[in-house]
Amino acid sequence: MFEFQKLCNEVEALTPPERAALIVDKAVTVVDGLRGLGLDGEDPVNTLAAFIIGSVVSDGSISEKDYLYIYPSLVKAFGEFCDLAGIKSELKVSKDLQNIIKEYTKELLNILSAANEELGADIILLCLLVTSVDGKVSLKEKRYIRQLCKS
C-alpha cells in the first residue's frame, strides 16, 4: 500500500496546526467513505473511533490523562458521528480490555476489506494523526496501527 514508517515520520513532523487541519480534512473523507460502504451491523465510524482509542491503550490500560489528551482530536475527527463516551466507558469498565480491542481490530479489518485502497490509506493516516497529537507515534502505537496495512 505505502511505506508505513515514512508516513509515521511525516505525521510526526507536522506542526500542531497542520495536524489539526489534516485531522479535520481526513475525518470528513473517512466518515463519508465509511458511511458510503453501507455495511450492516456495527457502526463503522464507532468502530474506527474505538480502534483509535485502542491504539492509546495498546499497552493494556487507558488513563484519564491519555484519554483527555486525544479527546480533542477525536472530537475534531468524529464530532457527533460517534459515541466517544460510550466507547470510553466500555474500555474502562472491561476486565478483559485486550479482548475488546481485538474485537474492534477484527471488525475494522472486516470493514477495510470492503473499502477501496484510497479509503484504507486515509483511515491509516487518520489513526496516525490522532495518535500523534503529542508529536510522536510510539512503537506500540505503530505496531497496533500497522495491523491495518495487512488488510
CB-CB neighbours of 128 under 10 Å = 24
Yes or no: say if 67 and 85 are a contact pair by the CB < 8 Å rule. no
DSSP state of 43: -
Mean pLDDT, rounded, of the chain: 79
Q: Tens digit of pLDDT for each residue in 52-71?
A: 777 766 655 566 666 676 77
**Which distant-in-sequence residues (6+ apart) come within 8 Å of 101 by Cβ?**
54, 57, 58, 91
Q: Tens digit of pLDDT for each residue in 74-100?
A: 777 777 656 666 766 666 655 566 677
* Nearest partner of 8 among 119, 107, 105, 149, judged by Cα: 149
Yes or no: say if 23 and 149 are a contact pair by the CB < 8 Å rule. no
Domain ranges of the chain: 4-146
The confidence score (pLDDT) of residue 87 equals: 67
Which H helix or E strand runs over 62? none
**Angstrom distance (rounded) from CA 110 to CA 130:** 21
pTM of the full structure: 0.79
